Structure 1
Amino acid sequence: MKIRYNFVKKEDVRYCKAESTVKEAYELLKESGYRSIPVLRENGTVFAGLIYKVDLLDHYVEKEGKDEDSIEALIQDQDAFVYEEDSFFKTFLTIRRLPFLAVLNDKEEFSGIITHGNVMDVLEDSFGMKTGGYILTVGTKEHKGAIKDLVSTIKDVNIEGLLTLDNGDTYLRRIIINLSHDVSEKKLNKIIKKLEEKDFRVTSVDDVNLGEKVLTK
């Protein structure tokens, strides 16, 4: 999956010009309600970094800065960007400590930003939250072919999403399965029974449509 399919376009992004004063940047941040916004150069085409509200306040209070001071020295995280053609999962490696990442096109121009909300949207999609009915959390002893065995056991139902947790654990693994919304409660109980007969342990079942847990062990 490419980043270009999942980010906020430039026209929907509030940003600050690199030549702005501290007062201009602070007023823009205060108006936007964000703790940080991107800083752009050259008529809004080149990404310069991020400006944080806390740094502007620190400039005023701790450093006794003036309204007309330049924001240049306060710009941070100049490397907080990815490219439209990068894999979306590259964001997981860098966005954790940042409020967002800038997105650049193949001409090195600013195209927009990718936010934690975008990341959550992709995770929700991987869970099948938009289409699924039941999410099963299944525990299994780690062994070669565990996922293949699980899928084979419930091959007669449609799997809307699948995610594995505890990867790298020597002994145990959790597998999250999202089953199609057309699975009946009776069918669900049969699936759980079949899985547990194959030494899989269904530890919880959530109903996506109702937004509630229907089974916990």
Structure 2
Amino acid sequence: MKIRYNYVKKEDVKYCRSSDTVREAYDYLKQTGYRSVPVLEDGGKKFAGLIYKVTLLEHYLENDGKDEDSLEQLIRDQDAFVSEEESFIKAFLSIKRLPFLAVIDEGGEFTGIMTHANIMDVLEDSFGLKTGGYLMTVATKEHKGAIKELVSTVKDVNIEGLLTLDNGDYLRRIVVNLSHELTEKKLNKIISKLEEKDFRVTFIDDVQQGKTAAGKA
């Protein structure tokens, strides 16, 4: 999955200009309520970095800063950007310490930002929280071909998503997103087939109805 399908477009992004003064930037952050916004230059085409409200306050309180001081010296995280052609995984790993990531196109022009909310939307979609269904958590001893065997066991049912947890551990958990069209009778049959293969269904979440039910022990 590429970044280009999951970010806030430029026209909906609040930002400062690199030519702004410290006072202009501080007033703008107060007005918008954000703790950080991107800073753009070259008429709003190029990403210059991030400006933080806390950085502006430190400039005033600790460095005896003046209202008319240039914003450029206070810009931080100039490398906080990803290309819209990058994979979702790169953004997921890069955004951890940041409030958001700037997104640039192949020509290096600023096109928007990816926020933590965008990341959560993708994860919610992978868990089936938007379309509904059953999230089945399956525990198994780590061994070669475990996922292939699990998928083969439930091959008669539409698998809408798959997520593995505890990778590298002796015991692994696999979360399988099954279609909401699955009947309870069919679900119980799948559980039985999995347990015959030494998989253990530890939990089942009914996302469609907002209910959860413990799986067989």
Same fold (TM over 0.5): yes
- Gap regions ≥5 residues in structure 1: none
Structure 2 match to 1:146: 146
* Contact kept in structure 2, 1:131 and 1:160, CA below 8 Å: no
CA distance in 1, matches of 2:30, 2:202: 46
Find the residue that maps to 2:155 and give its secondary structure: coil
One-letter amino acid of the structure 1 residue matched with residue 88 of structure 2: F
Distance 1:148 1:132, change over 3 A: farther
Structure 2 match to 1:206: 205
Find the residue that maps to 2:177 and give its secondary structure: strand
Structure 1 match to 2:179: 180
TM-score normalised by length of structure 2:
0.95
- Structure 1 position 128, deviation (Å): 2.5
* Contact kept in structure 2, 1:136 and 1:177, CA below 8 Å: yes
Structure 2 match to 1:194: 193
- Structure 1 position 58, deviation (Å): 1.4
Give the % identical residues: 71
CA distance in 1, matches of 2:129, 2:160: 9
- Structure 1 position 198, deviation (Å): 1.1
**How many residues are matched?**
216
Matches within 5 A, 1:68-147: 68-147=68-147
CA distance in 2, matches of 1:212, 1:60: 52
Aligned CA-pair RMSD: 1.3
CA distance in 2, matches of 1:86, 1:163: 21
* Contact kept in structure 1, 2:140 and 2:199, CA below 8 Å: yes
Structure 2 match to 1:44: 44
- Structure 1 position 12, deviation (Å): 0.5
One-letter amino acid of the structure 1 residue matched with residue 36 of structure 2: S
Structure 2 match to 1:9: 9
TM-score normalised by length of structure 1:
0.95
Q: Per-residue CA shift, 1:87-129, capped at 9, x if unaligned?
A: 1211122110001111111111111111111111111222222
